[in-house]
Chain A
Amino acid sequence: NAGVTQTPKFQVLKTGQSMTLQCAQDMNHEYMSWYRQDPGMGLRLIHYSVGAGITDQGEVPNGYNVSRSTTEDFPLRLLSAAPSQTSVYFCASSYSDTSSQPLHFGNGTRLTVT
């Protein structure tokens, strides 16, 4: 059981480049989300989805796009990378959108924008 799989593990971009961070889960979870983790700031929600075809913005959505065409996949697109987007990105999923369900996390993508 793979759980939540993120690719790539590391990425270096130049300012202005675009890229897509991949996230896939095999647990048939309805809820999926993207977080960024920066030192001393905990986790900040970028975008989330409560099911295929449904997405919404989190706390820090600017500069990022998402789509959810299938239950399994939830890619995060950086439209025009900026140094402020240097961070570690985590994808997380849970069984449903009820507030009591724990999140399952991927191992993260470490992104550096130069």
Chain B
Amino acid sequence: AQSVTQLDSQVPVFEEAPVELRCNYSSSVSVYLFWYVQYPNQGLQLLLKYLSGSTLVESINGFEAEFNKSQTSFHLRKPSVHISDTAEYFCAVSEESNYQLIWGAGTKLIIKP
């Protein structure tokens, strides 16, 4: 992957509202796609990943992301956010032939009570 773009550095949203965090990438070959989450003062954790198969992938805590090959996007969504979702979210992409991950700059999800 040449680059990964997370257009929003911060996304404020009210509790129980839906949210979408955007991720676009540039690559001309097959890719693997990841979303990682970083809670305050912690390391990153894998949230969900797309390797192959169904383009819609889900996490255990209600997030989902859809791989759109034509738009080269992998946006993250949640229908109703909770205060505990406050974190920074990173999109990352790797190509089949190249191990190294390319990271987006991150999006801080700010939940307003």
Residues of A within 8 A of B (CB): 4, 31, 40-45, 48, 58, 90, 92, 97-100, 102-103, 105-108
Q: Name which residue of chain A comes closest to B9, CB basis.
A: A40
For B, the interface residue count at a CB cutoff of 8 angstroms equals: 25
Q: Which of B4-49 contact A (CB under 8 A)?
A: 9, 32, 34, 36, 41-46, 49
A98 CA to B43 CA, complexed, in Å: 22
Tell me whether chain B's interface is mostly helix, strand or loop, or mixed. strand
| Residue contact A45 to B106, C-beta cutoff 8 Å | no
- Using a Cβ cutoff of 8 Å, how many contacts connect chains A and B? 54
The smallest beta-carbon distance between B32 and chain A, in angstroms, is: 5
Known contacts being A43-B103, A105-B43, is A99 close to B90, with CB within 8 Å? no
Checking A31, A99, A108 against B95 with a beta-carbon cut-off of 8 angstroms, the contacting residue is A99
The smallest beta-carbon distance between B59 and chain A, in angstroms, is: 12
